[in-house]
A and B are shown apart, each in its own frame.
Chain A
Amino acid sequence: MIPLSWFLIFAALLFCVGLYGALARRNAIAILMAIELMLNAVNINLVAFWRYLGPEAVSGQAFALVVFAVAASEAAVGLALMISIYRRRHTVAVEEIDMMKW
């Protein structure tokens, strides 16, 4: 049997790897990928708590499903923005997207 803490530590590690990627990468698409990793880590936590603390309640899995929908919407709109920016400015590097920077 696997103790709960293993899953939580794994999720924490995955989340921090994603966090590093989201903060450090220059390519905006890579940042989106890192955010997907973070959302996955969150999902692991939700499902692990569902399994260990209340397997008769549906809330853990229902929340995870909503996270899937949110992740998909986020990726869809984010990538559309990337395409739009690339068409206008021929770059998706985050430091170069600075039109709004004062």
Chain B
Amino acid sequence: MLEPWIFVALLLGVGMLLPGVAIAANWLLSPKKPNAIKQSTYECGIETVGETYVQLKGAYYIYALIFVVFDIEAVFLFPWAVAYDKLQLYMVLEAVLFIVILAAGLAYAWRKGVLEWV
């Protein structure tokens, strides 16, 4: 039952391990001469001013929000799509209604001007 998942876990582990080994080899082979200038923040030679965590614009939150909503929508629709062959017509139309309600949400965001990149 869980056998394929063992392979998935192993492959994910290998996916971490191989780059880890490569970086370790790099660490062994490379020179290690740190100094203050080298390690300072890189901004094309200009002195860094102020703190790193600059104020970001709030629009990023809106994109994350819409993504979350549509992600959940997709998650709800995947079992429906798997069962598609066994569904009657009205069941398909219910899912269409589900999609239309979410599309209305997207249309609202569009009308509101949220989707403009400012």
Contacts and interface: CB of A to CB of B under 8 A. Distances in A.
A76 B76 contact: no
Contact of B68 (A65, A76, A83): A76
A72 B61 contact: no
Interface in A37-96: 65, 68-69, 72, 75-76, 79-80, 83, 87
Contact of B75 (A65, A79, A87): A65
Interface string B49-70: 0000000001001000100110
Contacts of B69: 72, 76
A83 B56 CA distance: 12
Interface residues of B, number: 9
B72 A68 contact: yes
Contacts of B71: 72
B72 A69 contact: yes
B7 to A, nearest CB: 21
Given A68-B72, A69-B72, A76 B65 contact: yes
Contacts of A72: 68-69, 71-72
Nearest to B65: A76
A51 to B, nearest CB: 12
Contacts of A76: 65, 68-69
A79 B64 CA distance: 11
A80 to B, nearest CB: 7
Nearest to B61: A83
7 contacts: A68-B75, A72-B72, A75-B68, A76-B65, A79-B61, A80-B65, A83-B58
